Amino acid sequence: MRKLKQLPGVGLLKGMLVTGRNFFGSYRNPRRLVTVSYPEQRLLLPESSRNFPFLVYDGNDSVEGLRCVACKTCERECPSGAIRIVQARDENGRPAKHPERFEIGIDACMGCQICAEVCPFDAIKMDSDYEHAATGRTRPMVHNKLRLAKSNTYYHRIKPREAAEVDARLEMERFRKEEARRKREEAARMKKEAAAKAAAAKPEAPENS
Amino acid sequence: MAVTIPSDAAPPPGRTSLAFPARRPGLTLAAAAGVLVVGTTLLVLLLDRKAPGILTGAVVEALAHPATAPLILKAGVLGWLAEGWGLGEPWLGLASISLSLFTIVAVFMGLFALTSIVERKVLARIQNRYGPNRAGLWGLLQPVADGIKMLTKEDIVPAGGDRWMHLLAPVMLAVPAFLVLALLPYGPGMTVVELGVGILFFFALGASAEVAVFMAGWSSNNKYSLLGAMRAIAQMISYEMPLLLAALAVVMLAGTLSPTLMVEAQAGHAFGFVPQWFVFTPWGLVGFVLFFIAALAESNRSPFDLPEGESELVAGHMTEYSGFRYAVFFLAEYIGLFGICGFAVALFLGGWHAPLPVLDFIPGYLWFFLKLYGLVLLAIWIRGTMPRVRIDQLLAFSWLFLIPTGFCVLAGAALWHFTGGGWLGWLVVTPVVTAPYFLLLPRLQSAEANALRTYRFSEE
Amino acid sequence: MNLTRAAPWPAGTAPFADPGETELLELSLGPQHPSTHGVFRMNALLDGETVVRLQPVFGYLHRNHEQLAERMSYLASMPFTDRLDYFCSLTNNWAYALTVEKLAGLEVPERAEYLRVILAELTRLQNHTVFLGFLLGDMGAWGSVLMYGFRQRDAVLDLFEALTGSRMMCDYLRFGGCRCDLPPGWAAAARLVVDSYPGFLDEMEQLLTENEILRARTMGIGGVEAKRLVNAGVSGPLLRAAGLSHDLRKVDRYGIYDRFSFRIPLGEKGDVYDRLMIRLLEMRESLNILDSALRDLPEGPVINPQAKLRNFRPPAGEAYGRIESPKGELGFYLISDQSPQPYRYRVRPPSLINLTLLEEMCVGAKIADVMVILGSIDIVLGEVDR
């Protein structure tokens, strides 16, 4: 069995040297510091940083511009059941394609971003804001539609790369939809024209024959 | 893209953060100093009207002779009392004692406040944190905030505990701790109580701390407290022995029990620059290390903080204490540390003597406090580094290593005396005092623990 | 000459059999206690400072994880697996994803496999790094080592945050791959972190292996016969410290672990010191794996395009998937009845099963050793209680 080749106590002195080096090092090189003095100093968050979801709206109107169509996919998929959506009704009482109420309880939300992942309309995204202190345990913990709605510009500001991707995708989808609509209309027009032609041709036929 | 890619490969890759807002400490410090100086001057001038000239004269004299400033000031105040208020003899003696006591208590309370923040700061910096920096400049007002917090908290006595014993224990701990301060030789002629048997009194006071700790542990009606108190008793009794033995060597060579005379025995410099402190002799060096290790254990400092034993006993004998009484425990522990470090300075580090003759212009009492605080900082540094030992290892370390070393130091001191020091002394004494280190310490641990372990690797 | 070894009293032979002489002290450590690593409780019977009996009590952090998972979709359980062993969310994700992939027969693209290996080994690194700190904290070293460990771990967590958006609750793996691709510059940053690790490990090794107090506190403490460990189902570094070569990365070769060459460090005594050293050595092996994985990382998709995110219904059947998490064998057992929710969902948590021998390790030791032994098992209460 080999013996540890050192005098007793030397290991402790080496430990003292390490801590001493760290003591002076923390003054010489601030990058050594583990902590930051929070309100004055803040860490720069990476783009993918996520904390709490928000609703994206296009344009300037935070109510009309909401991308959300109240399909309730996120409400179904939310693991902690933090989302509550009430679909709006139009004047005829039929379901409309926007939410009447959209509420997220920040006390229940765990920031897992599944809602943002499953949303088919890119309407709900993850925010990197982390200062959500509230003064109550019930109502102030629930963020409503108005509070959740943030503009696409804001989205671009906090997550430029992701937002640009989303915009491109939406643009593409819009383009495809437009294209499909145009094609459909074209087809309808062609059909109508053909029908008109046929109709124009048909009555004459008996007479001609 | 906000991935924080570090700019250089220095380990570890740091995180980007915004700059800390600049502070202007100079202005704050200047303002504080100005307020202090102007306030003191005004107070002195105001008080001086009772007996014109005496107080201001003393202050001017003290400023001119900083080495004996405390004595001059004390004489001035006594003269002012006698002149201005016509105080007679029994009262003047009382005033003289109270003045000394008041000064010592004030100085050490200030030192306690300072240490409580310095310790947290140093530990934080050792761990690469900022430490408290919210209250005041550099967090210097943190002790005030802590004090207010402690004072306004509820003072809880546990149900089923021994109420009076519980309330009395912190006081019982604090009083002997403060009494020790009266014995310390701060400077030439600056001992509060010149006691011929100072060392003896010091050990008597140290022993009474055990009673207080056990009172706290017993009266709390808590098993953690009880275990902590039992540990404290075992620890303090076993570590008083090496403490005593190390001090005894100094007593032998200095030929006195009075700390003041011991310091005087260390005056002068060999070859004009090596101070004749006891720590610069072979037996003194070992004795000092012995004394300091035992002092750490006596004042429950890491790595011997078993009575508190945070990781297993929550807070040991202090578990059930809260509020002001908890603060008194803290106070007593720190004051105890100051006292024991002060004795280490007086016994081995030459007390008020300057390390080099050219540094003699700095007043002796400042040297004393500098040395004392150096030891306190060393204790803090050790606390930031070392893991705690276990109770059986702690006791074995004392009984099987420190106490034999203590006897060797005693023998070494005797040999030093008979050889008359010099190179012969070094030659004879060094093997005697270091023998336990080479012979006993390696055997403290089992052979298994001394072995270097090698590890094999499996590819499957 | 062995001067410090306390003579342990095997239960029943101690001289306190006569209750008139001495009394045993029953001490309840926890659930609120500085070093039980969460809300864990131990009912210890003490003779002076020596432990005579010790009864672990757990369940204070029970969150009904398994029952909850049987009432929600497969995907929705993924963020909850983060919260089992909250130091190692990515390996938890992997164990769960592996099981579901087995159940549904999903293939994982090459790049995703590499990413999983990289993230799992980074997780192992940061888990063992803080383990050292917590163990030293249990010995009363006042957090210095803990903070140095945290500083190093923060570099790894920064990587996790840049990739997954969260430092600890990563929720990154998906059935059939990973959630998103690497952000630009990530691999280079990871390379820097990996390169900075050996220096840190050298410092730690020097600091820890030579420290006399640490050696005295850890050597010969908490060792249990290897046979008992096997019988109790203990896995992970605890088993390897006792000299048994059992690492699922070698046994199962799940994922693409057969492509990497690495070794399994093995201890002999199985005491706390061996456990500590095994973890240190394991980190070096992890660095080797990371080195080659980062070098060979292929291009390609990160998720199987056939994997469905919404309305995921695996075919009926059952599957047990297991991986070598930093703490031991982490397994998930699932039964599917073709509905969107699993019919049965069960976790095999390494922390809980490694804890079963706690009493055997502690009896005869001092009360202060109990904390060190508990720390050396490396439990996380989120996983013990679920």
- C278 contact residues in B (CB cutoff 8 A): 455
Q: Which helix (H) or strand (E) covers residue B95, if one does?
A: helix B89-126
- A110 contact residues in C (CB cutoff 8 A): 79, 169
C108 plus C27 within the same structural domain: no
pLDDT, position C11: 55
How far is B168 from chain A, CA to nearest CA, in Å?
38
For B301-330, how does the pLDDT look when each residue is reduced to its tens digit (9 = 90+)?
878 887 777 777 778 888 888 888 888 888
Per the domain annotation, does A46 fall within a domain?
A: no
Partners of chain A (3+ Cβ pairs below 8 A):
B, C
The alpha carbons of chain A give a radius of gyration, in whole angstroms, of 31
For B10-65, how does the pLDDT look when each residue is reduced to its tens digit (9 = 90+)?
333 334 444 555 567 788 888 889 999 999 888 888 887 777 777 788 888 888 87
Tell whether B16 lies on the interface with C, counting CB pairs under 8 A. Answer: no
A146 plus A165 within the same structural domain: no
C36 plus C101 within the same structural domain: no
The alpha carbons of chain C give a radius of gyration, in whole angstroms, of 22
A163 plus A147 within the same structural domain: no
A60 plus A146 within the same structural domain: yes
C79 plus C44 within the same structural domain: no
Strand partners of residue C41: C57
Comparing CB atoms, the residue among C75, C158, C212 nearest residue A114 is: C75
A62 plus A107 within the same structural domain: yes
C47 plus C156 within the same structural domain: no
Comparing CB atoms, the residue among C80, C150, C203 nearest residue A18 is: C203
Domain count of chain A? 2
Task: Compare all CA atoms of chain A with the CA of B440 and give the residue at the minimum distance.
Answer: A8
- A50 contact residues in C (CB cutoff 8 A): 165-166
How many pairs of residues across A and C have Cβ atoms under 8 Å apart? 85
Residue with the bigger pLDDT between B351 and C332: it is C332
C296 plus C252 within the same structural domain: yes
A87 plus A169 within the same structural domain: no
Confidence of residue C14 (pLDDT cuts 50, 70, 90): low
Overall pTM > 0.95: no
How far is B402 from chain C, CA to nearest CA, in Å?
14
Q: Which helix (H) or strand (E) covers residue B146, if one does?
A: helix B142-152
What number is the average pLDDT over the span A3-8?
66
- C216 contact residues in B (CB cutoff 8 A): 389-390, 393, 445, 449
Tell whether B452 lies on the interface with A, counting CB pairs under 8 A. Answer: yes
Domain count of chain C? 2
For B258-274, how does the pLDDT look when each residue is reduced to its tens digit (9 = 90+)?
888 888 888 877 777 77
A132 plus A181 within the same structural domain: no
User: Could you give the CA distance from residue A159 to residue A156 in angstroms, rounded to a whole number?
Assistant: 5
Task: Compare all CA atoms of chain B with the CA of C158 and give the residue at the minimum distance.
Answer: B4
Per the domain annotation, does C10 fall within a domain?
A: no
C188 plus C309 within the same structural domain: yes
Q: Which of residues 155-174 of A touch B (CB under 8 A)?
A: 161
- B400 contact residues in C (CB cutoff 8 A): 3
Task: Compare all CA atoms of chain C with the CA of A34 and give the residue at the minimum distance.
Answer: C151
CATH number of the domain that C248 lies in? 1.10.645.10
Find the domain containing C344 and state its range: 65-385
Per the domain annotation, does C2 fall within a domain?
A: no
Q: Which helix (H) or strand (E) covers residue A84, if one does?
A: strand A83-89
Per the domain annotation, does C5 fall within a domain?
A: no
Beta-carbon separation of B391 and C144 below 8 A = no
C47 plus C69 within the same structural domain: no
Find the domain containing A103 and state its range: 52-151
User: Could you give the CA distance from residue B336 to residue B315 in angstroms, rounded to a whole number?
Assistant: 18
A145 plus A60 within the same structural domain: yes
A173 plus A109 within the same structural domain: no
| Helix, strand, coil percentages, rounded to 5, for chain B | 70, 0, 30
Task: Compare all CA atoms of chain C with the CA of A73 and give the residue at the minimum distance.
Answer: C310
Beta-carbon separation of C309 and A10 below 8 A = no
Per the domain annotation, does A13 fall within a domain?
A: no
Q: Which of residues 96-155 of B touch A (CB under 8 A)?
A: 122, 125-130, 133
- SS3 string, chain C, reads CCCCCCCCCCCCCCHHHCCCCCCCEEEEECCCCCCCCCCCEEEEEEECCEEEEEEEECCCCCCCHHHHHCCCCCHHHHHHHHCCCCCCHHHHHHHHHHHHHHHHCCCCCHHHHHHHHHHHHHHHHHHHHHHHHHHHHHCCCCCHHHHHHHHHHHHHHHHHHHHHCCCCCCCCEECCEECCCCCCCHHHHHHHHHHHHHHHHHHHHHHHHCCHHHHHHHCCCCCCCHHHHHHHCCCCHHHHHCCCCCCHHHHCCCCCHHHCCCCEEECCCCCHHHHHHHHHHHHHHHHHHHHHHHHHCCCCCCECCCCCCCCCCCCCEEEEEEEEECCEEEEEEEEECCCCCEEEEEEECHHHHHHHHHHHHHCCCEHHHHHHHHHHHCCCHHHHHC
User: Could you give the CA distance from residue B220 to residue B171 in angstroms, rounded to a whole number?
Assistant: 15
CATH number of the domain that A105 lies in? 3.30.70.3270
C181 plus C207 within the same structural domain: yes
Task: Compare all CA atoms of chain A with the CA of C147 and give the residue at the minimum distance.
Answer: A34
User: Could you give the CA distance from residue C237 to residue C243 in angstroms, rounded to a whole number?
Assistant: 10
Per the domain annotation, does C1 fall within a domain?
A: no
Q: State the complex-level ipTM.
A: 0.81
For C232-284, how does the pLDDT look when each residue is reduced to its tens digit (9 = 90+)?
889 889 988 888 888 888 888 888 888 888 889 988 888 888 898 899 999 99
Strand-strand pairing, C50-57 and C41-47: antiparallel
In this predicted structure, the answer to whether residue B9 has a pLDDT above a threshold of 60 is: no
User: Could you give the CA distance from residue C132 to residue C211 in angstroms, rounded to a whole number?
Assistant: 14
For A59-98, how does the pLDDT look when each residue is reduced to its tens digit (9 = 90+)?
887 778 888 888 888 888 888 888 988 888 888 888 888 8
C207 plus C351 within the same structural domain: yes
Task: Compare all CA atoms of chain B with the CA of C161 and give the residue at the minimum distance.
Answer: B3
C53 plus C70 within the same structural domain: no
Instruction: With H, G, I as helix, E, B as strand and everything else as coil, classify residue B112.
Output: helix
Per the domain annotation, does A76 fall within a domain?
A: yes
Beta-carbon separation of B302 and C142 below 8 A = yes
A179 plus A100 within the same structural domain: no
